[in-house]
Amino acid sequence: MTVVWTPVCRFADLLAERGVAALIGDAQVAVFRLHDDRLRAIGNRDPVSGAHVLSRGVVGSRGDRAVVASPMHKQAYDLDTGECLDADARVPVFPIRVRGGVVEVGTA
């Protein structure tokens, strides 16, 4: 399977522990810069509420897992696996990288 990389923004424009939303084709993607400058990308749609709001969630951790808490009902989503830690739900996870200072999200 070939990954198509789409530029989203400059790495320097992302704030630590904050998210931004990007539209890649028909998919809304939530991009996060963690406190240690690692990047994560997940689907922006909260499957519990149905709202496209995960990019506005609170970034934190549960144990050793990096998570984002939905601003709707506060369910925590693992930023590495997309698993919801509080409900039977999951969001898609996207590959992400930085090339030449630009953040790129991969899709199949």
| Residue 91 CB-density burial (10 A; 0-12 exposed, 13-18 middle, 19+ buried) | buried
pLDDT score of 108 more than 90 = no
pLDDT score of 9 more than 80 = yes
Encode pLDDT of 83-99 as tens digits. 999 999 999 999 999 99
Percent of the chain residues topping a pLDDT of 70 = 100
Structure tokens at 91: 């969001």
DSSP E strands in the chain: the ranges are 4-10, 18-24, 27-33, 39-43, 58-62, 65-69, 76-78, 93-94, 96-99, 102-107
pLDDT for residue 1: 76
Mean pLDDT of the 44-70 span:
97
pLDDT for residue 41: 98
pTM for the model: 0.95
Domain locations in the chain as residue ranges? 7-99
7-99 is classed CATH 3.40.50.300: no
pLDDT for residue 79: 98
CB contact at 8 A, 48 and 72: yes
